[in-house]
Every structure is written in C-alpha cells, then in structure tokens.
A and B are shown apart, each in its own frame.
Chain A
Amino acid sequence: MKNGIGKLLMMVAVAALFISGCASTIQYGDAGSSKPVSKEFGSSDLQQIAEAMVDSMITFPPMVELTSGRRPVVSVDNVKNKSMQHIDTESITDSIRAKLIRSGKFRFIDRTTDAQAVEELKTQNDSGLVDKNKAVAFGQQFGAEFLLTSNFSEIRQKAGNTTDVYYKFTMSLKNLKTGILEWSDEKEIRKVFTRGTFGG
C-alpha cells in the first residue's frame, strides 16, 4: 500500500516535469497583443489610449473643419500623472503625436529638442564654417497655435482577493490665443485582478 502511494507520487512528479518543461524559453511576441499581464499599466493600455484620443480628435466636427484647409501647429504638454504608478507618460504623448502627424492633419513643435536646435543654429551662424546664405537664421520658428494637455489618473479598490483598477486619461486641445478648449475627450480602462487561491 505504502509502496503504491510512493510510486504514484513519483509518477506525478515526473509528469509535472514533462508538462511544465524544465528550460526557460524566449520568443517574439505580438507588439499589438491585448493580453493583460498584470493590473499595472501596460502596453495595450497605452495603445488603446493613443488610438482612442487620435480617433476622437481627428473626427470631431470642429476639428475636421479646422484641419480641412490647413495643418495647425500644436505643442504637447507633459502629462499630469496623478496615478500611483511611475509611468513613462511621454511615451503615451509620443504615440499620440506620431499618429496625429501621420494623419496629415496637424503639425507639431517639439520643445524637448530645443537645446540641440540652438546648439546647431549657433554653429551655423557663429562658427564661420557655414555659408551665410545657407545658414538658418535665428527667430524664424513657428509658434504653436494649440497646446495638447493631458491628465492621467487612477482609482484602485481592493476587496478580499479582488483588486479593481480604473485608469482615466483625459486630453484637451487648448487654443493658446483665446484660451478656449477646442476639443477634449477621455479614455477609461478598467482592470479586475482576482488573486487565485494557490497563486503567489
């Protein structure tokens, strides 16, 4: 009897080894996968937010009218991250900006690369290396007509084994001349995490 149970345990152990495999594996995954890995902010959440914001903005009737004959110049403000997580929020606005530029509806000013631009213009104008007729003069850049501002917030609730996380990303387009918000929209994401009885 005892011998039998021992053998059974042995077999189960051997079978477990076979089923789980002993070696670590690495493989390419789908960059557009929407499989939630954890309740934390993930790549699919970022993609969903970026797509929702861009779709909403380029189809909003006053925006369609505004962009029908020209491509307004927009500047992107830093995201106000009010969540409890450290998120690379610039990555969200970068995705949104890239999609908006590719839509052919808007043009953007990037203030984060100004230091390099000033350095380059100084070299062109002051170093004596560059032909004066071909050097780019100071003071010719465009000023942004609109400012794209955003807020990111999180509400987290926990009851027993269940954690419910709600993310909200709000974005607005502010007319810098008049101060009017020309467009605004928000994207909500809810994730529910239930801790398994045997899970770690």
Chain B
Amino acid sequence: MNEIQYLKSAMAAIAAVAVLGLAGCSTTAGVEATARTAWDDQGARTLEKNVVFNSGSLKGDIQIVDIKSAMVGDIMKAQATLRSKDRDTLPFQYRFDWFDAGGFEINSGAGAWKPLLLTGRETKTIQAVAPDPRAKEFKLKIREPD
C-alpha cells in the first residue's frame, strides 16, 4: 500500500462521516392538520378539515385516519386518529394549537410538543382540550423528534 491509497481511503471515510452528520438533523414542519368549526344550512355543527404533509418521509410513515371534535360544556375537544404505515416502532412529536372564531391563536406559542410512540402498523388516537371557551379552530402538528 502506498500513501496515496491511504489518503484516498481517509478522504472517503471523512466524507462519509460528514454526510451522516448532515443527514442526522432534519426536523421539518412535518404534518399540519387544520380543523375549523363551521355550521351547515340546518345550523348543525360541522368541521372543515385540511391536512398538509410538509415532509415526504413523514408521509410514508404516518397517516391521519380521522379528525373529529366535540364540545364539552363550552370547551372544544379534539381527537385525531393516526395510523403508522411502518413496520417498526417510530417516535413522533405532536402539538395542538388553538384559534378563536376570528382565526387568532389563543395563548400564542404557549403549547408544548408531546412525545408519541407508534408501534408498527398501530392505530392510535390523540386528544386535546382547548385552553378556553373561545377556541373554535385547531391545528394539529406532527413531526419527527428534534
């Protein structure tokens, strides 16, 4: 073996380590599911839903099966059913943000991410309760752990 071969293998090793290091830290916005309270022609309460996937890898891992909400007294309660598409146990984080009838966030930025563990192909429901009676709309965010 000569020096050049050593040099080449060392360079390759360094490049591989650097690539690994860069790939390790990729927290994205993940999944955002918005649900807004609305009323139909008969005056019954309905929920307008919208799900956006901002991450390709998350789209392959998780599916939002259902989003629903109900009123407990005058407080809005939300539930989302998630299904893992993967065969392995995967960790996620989620949080609910709440908005009033005018679309203003309640206690802006105060929510905390919660850990969520989904075993392979598991279906799990997550729930949250609005911070106060003003809430009429919520946004569920799911992301990979930071």
Mark B1-31 against chain A: 1 for CB-CB distance below 8 A, else 0: 1110011011101100110010000000000
Is B129 a contact partner of A59 (Cβ separation < 8 A)? Answer: yes
How many angstroms between the C-alpha atoms of A7 and B21 in the bound complex?
A: 23
The yes or no answer to A162 lying at the interface (CB within 8 A) is no
The answer, among B21, B114, B145, for a CB contact under 8 Å with A19, is B21
Question: CB within 8 A of A64: which of B2, B3, B18, B73?
Answer: B73
Judge whether A194 is part of the interface by a CB distance below 8 angstroms.
no
Q: Within 8 Å of chain B (Cβ to Cβ): is A55?
A: yes
Question: 1/0 per position for A133-166, CB-CB distance to B under 8 A?
Answer: 0000000000000000000000000000000000
User: For chain B, what secondary structure do more than half of its interface residues adopt (helix, strand, loop), or is it mixed?
Assistant: mixed
Q: Is the CB of B132 within 8 A of A34?
A: no
Given that A5-B6, A68-B73 are contacting pairs, would A32 and B111 also be in contact in the complex, using a CB cutoff of 8 Å? yes
Known: A4-B3, A67-B73. A102 touches B132 (CB 8 A): yes
Whether B114 contacts A34 by the Cβ 8 Å rule is yes
- Chain A interface category by residue count: 20 to 34
Asked whether A184 is an interface residue with its Cβ less than 8 Å from the other chain, the reply is no
Contact A3 B128 (CB under 8 A): no
A197 CB, nearest partner CB in chain B, Å: 18
* CB-defined contacts of B17 to chain A, threshold 8 Å: 15, 19
> Is B133 at the interface (CB under 8 A from chain A)?
yes
Q: List 20 A-B contacts (CB under 8 A).
A: A1-B1, A4-B6, A7-B3, A11-B11, A11-B14, A12-B13, A15-B17, A30-B113, A32-B95, A33-B112, A34-B112, A34-B113, A34-B145, A36-B115, A44-B115, A48-B114, A51-B112, A68-B73, A99-B131, A103-B133
Q: Which residues of chain A have a CB within 8 Å of any CB of chain B?
A: 1, 3-5, 7-8, 11-12, 15, 19, 30-36, 44, 47-48, 51, 54-55, 58-59, 64, 67-68, 99, 102-104
